[in-house]
Amino acid sequence: MENTLHVWIGTKKGAFVLQSSPARRKWTMGAPSLFGHIVYHVLQDGRDPRRMVLAAKTGHLGPTVYHSSNAG
């Protein structure tokens, strides 16, 4: 069983995921999701980590809620 932790961070430049090593001593940052959009909230389902909901402001679309069933 993989013992890594994922932490999602919403910023003015998109959403980023930090992934820990199994011992949680090292962290790596993934590529941004929704690059260039303001991301306010990212929620990952604790029962199924592939399911996520993200709240963002995407400029011309205004406030938008995104849903993913494949981890983004």
Which tens digits make up the pLDDT trace of 3-56?
888 899 999 999 999 999 998 899 999 888 889 899 999 998 889 988 999 999
At residue 3, the pLDDT reads 82
The per-type count for the chain, helices as H runs and strands as E runs, is 0, 6
Q: How long, in residues, is the chain? A: 72
CA dist., res. 15 & res. 63, Å (int): 15
Cβ–Cβ contacts within 10 Å for residue 10, how many?
Answer: 19
Q: How confident is the model at residue 62 (pLDDT cuts 50, 70, 90)?
A: confident
Question: What's the whole-model pTM score?
Answer: 0.76
Quote the CA–CA distance of 21 and 24 in Å, as a whole number: 5
Interatomic CA distance for residues 66 and 4, integer angstroms: 25
pLDDT classification of 1: cutoffs 50, 70, 90: very low
